[in-house]
Amino acid sequence: MIINPFLYIEEMKDWSLDKLYEEKDHLEECINKYKQREIKEEEDFRKISSNDMASIYEKYLARLNNLIENKERENKTDKKYIELDKYKEIEKFLKENNFFEGAEIYKISNKNGNAEIFIEYGDKDIEFYFYEVSEFNMSYYTDEIYIDSVYINNMNGKTSLEINGDTIYIFAQDIRVRTLDIDNTIYTYVSVKFKENQSKTFYYISNIENLKIGDYVYVPIRETSCPAIVENIEKFSYRNVPFPLNMTKTIIRKSSKNEFENYNSKNVNVFKEEYDNFDDDFEFENYNTIKDRARKLPYIKSQKVEWEEIKENDDKSFSMPFPNYDKEVIDWIEAFHSLKLLDHNYVENFNYLKDKNIEELDFYEILSYLTYIIRGEKFCDGLIASNLENGNIELLEKRLFSYLIKFTEIDDKNIRDFEEKDIMFFTLAEAGAMGEPNGIEIVTQKENAITLYHTNISEFDVRKLYSKFSTLKTLKCEIFGVVTGVQSGFIHVDTGMGNHLFINDSINNEFQEKIKTLQPFEIYNRWLIIGLDLLEFDWSKFNELC
């Protein structure tokens, strides 16, 4: 008899995170064995036939992952909530917090004349409670309802809530809303390292009492978990967290020195995909000068590569077709070698980055990808040709160079070199934003010359920029990427996690066309490349911006 994984998940809701991760590891091992045809009929850990393993337990794994995520969310912090029980307060709250688009309903119940609806948007949970329900209608219901709109009405003394037009329609005698008290909820962020001599640390949220610097903890990483050392402990309000709440995982439990040492004695590498810019994953010849060397790499555009046709040799044998690369391509390949940009661990590293979008790759991952293409030509004729023709190499280089371009720091002298009409792009990061909090980047175009500027509000008097970008005088950043006070001539685009982009109206239509399918965090990663392309920037001369 095949166990129902969805019912089994119900039995696991009271399990600890540690036990859930053990179950996850065990399940993934069994699925992997199935895929490798190592599991025979009736031999897996729950007596499932190999024919049913993929269809049933891949779904089970997805449900298990959701349970783990929910458990982590519940344990993130001792949240403080605000409760609203007056119709006008609730109506005002909904209007002021218009962030429901893309949010998810993750629980609905209607028992004993009372109903509950829980809405999740990142870490901003909202709970609706309805009392003395006289009507409760749902046109449809699936496991996931993504919200487009929420409306609240008060008719004849009764409150109704309408979601997505007619998805859920409730009439109740009374309603109460429970939501996070943003101003008074404090989050404990813990910096951990995974090796004794590691300098870089990574943020986790903790609810563990009496945790101290130097303690050992067990943390989730990638699709598993491992021990780590506490390097620092900090507390932040919701508005000032150093890393987005919905992207920060939670410490599972305390660990021990013995567990840490035993784990690391196995030489397990846990860093492959979870964290950007972790140098230990890559093996280059010299980290100290690698960016200086990368700046010397020639820029190569996408192009069609001609192939030599099959030929009959004198001995009646036939030579296979092969790509005929021109001098520009040969010089580019030789430059990549001579500049010592090769990743000697590219085979292993490429397995972890091959499914990522090129725009998401960090500096070292790009070099690994390029190494894979260049070295892979030895084993597959035309690998370089196909990546030249489909534009991958050109995009990889643009992404690489975008890390190397140096923005000019704004000072009292060069601030006179441009006016508002010259600004094509202007970025602003809020105090708690992802990336560089309080950072400003400006791209100007004056007489076809492109200049990139940078400053930080913490170091430069932002009032000096008022005459250069008048929106700064009136700009008001609200939660969930909403801004008001944008002056005419510029269009605002939310780039996620407290980051904002303003585009000159003269190029806005073209820019919007390029980003129409992108999410805010994707725009955050790609706006500079898209913008410079729209300004017809000559990437072969990018060193002029360095």
Every domain of the chain and the residues it spans: 5-74, 81-180, 186-264, 279-403, 405-545
Helices (H) and strands (E) in the chain, counts: 14, 25
Report d(CA 465, CA 444) in Å as an integer.
Answer: 14
What is the model's pLDDT at position 307?
82
Q: Percentage of the chain with pLDDT > 70? A: 78
Half-sphere exposure of 469 (CA within 13 A, CB side): 27
Task: Please answer whether residues 178 and 82 qualify as being in contact, where contact means their C-beta atoms are separated by less than 8 angstroms.
Answer: yes
What is the model's pLDDT at position 19?
82
- Tell me the one-letter amino acid at 286: N
Span 1-13, average pLDDT: 57
**Residues of 439-469 as b/e, b for ≥16 C-beta within 10 angstroms?**
bbbbbbbeeeebbbbbbebeebebeebeebb
What is the model's pLDDT at position 520?
87
Residue 59 has pLDDT above 70, yes or no: no
The more confident residue out of 412 and 311 is 412
pLDDT band at 275 (very low <50, low <70, confident <90, very high): very low
Task: Please answer whether residues 524 and 427 qualify as being in contact, where contact means their C-beta atoms are separated by less than 8 angstroms.
Answer: no
Residue 278 has pLDDT above 50, yes or no: no
- Which single residue is written with the structure tokens 């992997």? 32
Span 454-475, average pLDDT: 88
Report d(CA 374, CA 366) in Å as an integer.
Answer: 12
What is the model's pLDDT at position 508?
95
Span 222-250, average pLDDT: 80
The more confident residue out of 432 and 337 is 337
Tell me the backbone φ, ψ of residue 112, rounded to 5 degrees: 55, 35
What is the model's pLDDT at position 427?
94
Which residue, 215, 210, 209, is CA-closest to 192? 215
- Which pTM does this prediction carry? 0.49
Residue 77 has pLDDT above 60, yes or no: yes
pLDDT band at 401 (very low <50, low <70, confident <90, very high): very high
CA 113 to chain centre: 41
Report d(CA 199, CA 195) in Å as an integer.
Answer: 9
Q: Cβ-count burial of 20 within 10 angstroms (0-12 exposed, 13-18 middle, 19+ buried)? A: buried
Span 58-85, average pLDDT: 73
Q: Cβ-count burial of 9 within 10 angstroms (0-12 exposed, 13-18 middle, 19+ buried)? A: middle
Which residue, 115, 195, 202, is CA-closest to 160? 115
Span 338-367, average pLDDT: 86
Report d(CA 219, CA 18) in Å as an integer.
Answer: 9
Q: Which of 66-80, 121-135, 346-360 has the highest mean pLDDT?
A: 346-360
Least confident of 48-57, 76-85, 155-164: 48-57
Q: Which of 116-130, 464-478, 493-507 has the highest mean pLDDT?
A: 493-507
Tell me the backbone φ, ψ of residue 270, rounded to 5 degrees: -100, 5
Report d(CA 266, CA 268) in Å as an integer.
Answer: 5
What is the model's pLDDT at position 44?
41
- Tell me the one-letter amino acid at 187: Y
What is the model's pLDDT at position 276?
38
Span 60-83, average pLDDT: 73
What is the model's pLDDT at position 229?
95
The more confident residue out of 50 and 296 is 296
**Residues of 304-327 as b/e, b for ≥16 C-beta within 10 angstroms?**
ebeeeeeeeeeeeeeeeeebebee
What is the model's pLDDT at position 450?
93
Which residue, 539, 533, 522, 529, is CA-closest to 357? 522
| Strand positions, DSSP E, 475-536 | 476-477, 483-484, 490-494, 499-504
Residue 416 has pLDDT above 60, yes or no: yes
Span 10-19, average pLDDT: 77
Least confident of 234-248, 261-275, 383-397: 261-275
The more confident residue out of 98 and 107 is 107
Task: Please answer whether residues 546 and 406 qualify as being in contact, where contact means their C-beta atoms are separated by less than 8 angstroms.
Answer: yes
What is the model's pLDDT at position 299?
93
What is the model's pLDDT at position 233?
93
Q: What is the mean pLDDT of the chain?
A: 79
Task: Centre a 10 Å sphere on the Cβ of residue 244 and count the other Cβ atoms it contains.
Answer: 17
What is the model's pLDDT at position 289?
86
Task: Centre a 10 Å sphere on the Cβ of residue 239 and count the other Cβ atoms it contains.
Answer: 13
Tell me the backbone φ, ψ of residue 5, rounded to 5 degrees: -65, -25
Rg (CA), the chain: 28
Least confident of 10-14, 70-74, 235-239, 255-259: 70-74
pLDDT band at 511 (very low <50, low <70, confident <90, very high): very high
Q: Which distant-in-sequence residues (6+ apart) come within 8 Å of 382 by Cβ?
A: 305, 307, 322, 323
Residue 475 has pLDDT above 70, yes or no: yes
Task: Please answer whether residues 194 and 267 qualify as being in contact, where contact means their C-beta atoms are separated by less than 8 angstroms.
Answer: no
The more confident residue out of 329 and 478 is 329
Task: Centre a 10 Å sphere on the Cβ of residue 419 and count the other Cβ atoms it contains.
Answer: 12
Three-state secondary structure call for residue 132: strand
Output the six-digit token pair for 495: 């780039």
Span 276-301, average pLDDT: 75
Tell me the backbone φ, ψ of residue 157, rounded to 5 degrees: 80, 0
Three-state secondary structure call for residue 212: coil
Output the six-digit token pair for 452: 């990139």
pLDDT digits (tens, 9 = 90+) for 99-116: 565 566 767 777 788 888
pLDDT digits (tens, 9 = 90+) for 171-191: 888 888 888 787 788 889 999
pLDDT band at 273 (very low <50, low <70, confident <90, very high): very low
CA 139 to chain centre: 34
